[in-house]
Amino acid sequence: MDHELDLTADGATLTAALTDIASVSGDEKPLADAIERVLSALPHLSVHRRGNTVLAQTGLGRKERVVLAGHIDTVPHADNFPSSFNSERSRLTGCGTTDMKSGVAVQLRLAAEMTAPARDVTYVFYECEEVAAEDNGLYLLSRSAPELLAADFAVLLEPTGGVVEGGCQGTLRASVTASGARAHTARSWMGRNAIHEAGAILDVLRAWQPRTPVVDGLRYHEGLNAVAIGGGVAGNVVPDSCVVTVNYRYAPDTSEAEAADYIRSLFAPWEVSMLDNAPGARPGLSEPVAAAFVAAVGGTPRAKLGWTDVARFAELGIPAVNYGPGIPELAHTPGEYVEVAAIADCENRLRAWLSA
Amino acid sequence: MDHELDLTADGATLTAALTDIASVSGDEKPLADAIERVLSALPHLSVHRRGNTVLAQTGLGRKERVVLAGHIDTVPHADNFPSSFNSERSRLTGCGTTDMKSGVAVQLRLAAEMTAPARDVTYVFYECEEVAAEDNGLYLLSRSAPELLAADFAVLLEPTGGVVEGGCQGTLRASVTASGARAHTARSWMGRNAIHEAGAILDVLRAWQPRTPVVDGLRYHEGLNAVAIGGGVAGNVVPDSCVVTVNYRYAPDTSEAEAADYIRSLFAPWEVSMLDNAPGARPGLSEPVAAAFVAAVGGTPRAKLGWTDVARFAELGIPAVNYGPGIPELAHTPGEYVEVAAIADCENRLRAWLSA
Tens digits of residue pLDDT in A299-353: 899 998 888 889 899 888 888 899 999 998 899 999 999 999 999 999 999 999 9
Tens digits of residue pLDDT in A180-208: 999 999 999 999 999 999 999 999 999 99
On chain A, the residues whose CB falls within 8 A of the CB of B249 are 185-186, 188
Tens digits of residue pLDDT in B308-353: 889 899 888 888 899 999 998 899 999 999 999 999 999 999 999 9
**CB-count exposure of residue B78 (10 Å: 0-12, 13-18, 19+):** middle
On chain B, the residues whose CB falls within 8 A of the CB of A236 are 75, 130, 171, 227, 247, 332
Q: Which of B75, B224, B328 comes nearest A237 by C-beta?
A: B75
- Give the nearest chain A residue to B24 (CA atoms): A234
Q: How far apart are CA B106 and CA B326, in angstroms?
A: 11
For A316-320, the CB contacts below 8 A with 24+ separation are A316/A142, A316/A146, A316/A149, A318/A67, A318/A149, A318/A151, A318/A152, A318/A153, A318/A154, A319/A152, A319/A153, A319/A154, A319/A284, A319/A287, A319/A289, A319/A290, A320/A67, A320/A153, A320/A154, A320/A155, A320/A156, A320/A281, A320/A290
Closest-CA distance, A68 to chain B, in angstroms, reads 23
Q: Is B212 on the interface with A (CB under 8 A)?
A: no
Tens digits of residue pLDDT in B76-109: 999 999 999 999 999 999 999 999 999 999 999 9
Q: How far apart are CA A206 and CA B195, in angstroms?
A: 10
List A residues 134-173 in contact with B (Cβ-Cβ < 8 A): 169, 171, 173
3-class SS at A283? coil
The predicted pLDDT at position B133 comes to: 77
**Taking CB atoms and an 8 Å limit, are B233 and A193 in contact across chains?**
no
Nearest partner of B152 among B321, B302, B279, judged by Cα? B321
Contacts for A256 with CB less than 8 Å, ≥ 6 apart:
A170, A172, A277, A278, A279
- Catalytic residue numbers of B? 73, 129
Q: Once rounded to an integer, what is the mean pLDDT over residues B289-304? A: 87
ipTM score here? 0.70
| Pick among B169, B202, B277 to test the A interface (most A CBs inside 10 A) | B202
3-class SS at B222? coil
The predicted pLDDT at position B182 comes to: 95
Q: What is the pTM of this model?
A: 0.71
Q: Once rounded to an integer, what is the mean pLDDT over residues B44-61? A: 97
User: CB of B46 within 8 A of CB of B36?
Assistant: no
Tens digits of residue pLDDT in B143-155: 999 999 999 999 9
In B281-315, which positions are buried (b, 16+ CB within 10 angstroms) versus exposed (e)?
bbbbbeeebbeebbeebeeebbbbbbbbbbbbbbe
Q: What percentage of chain A exceeds 90 in pLDDT?
A: 84
Beta sheet of A65-71, edge-to-edge order: A46-50, A53-57, A120-126, A65-71, A153-156, A320-322, A165-166, A302-303
The predicted pLDDT at position B205 comes to: 98
Closest-CA distance, A138 to chain B, in angstroms, reads 18
Q: Is A75 on the interface with B (CB under 8 A)?
A: yes
On chain B, the residues whose CB falls within 8 A of the CB of A131 are 234-235
**Taking CB atoms and an 8 Å limit, are A307 and B186 in contact across chains?**
yes
Closest-CA distance, B235 to chain A, in angstroms, reads 6
**Taking CB atoms and an 8 Å limit, are B193 and A225 in contact across chains?**
yes
Q: Which of A184, A206, A331 comes nearest B306 by C-beta?
A: A184
Q: How far apart are CA B200 and CA B244, in angstroms?
A: 11
3-class SS at A317? coil
Tens digits of residue pLDDT in A151-182: 999 999 999 999 999 889 999 999 999 999 99
Closest-CA distance, B347 to chain A, in angstroms, reads 25
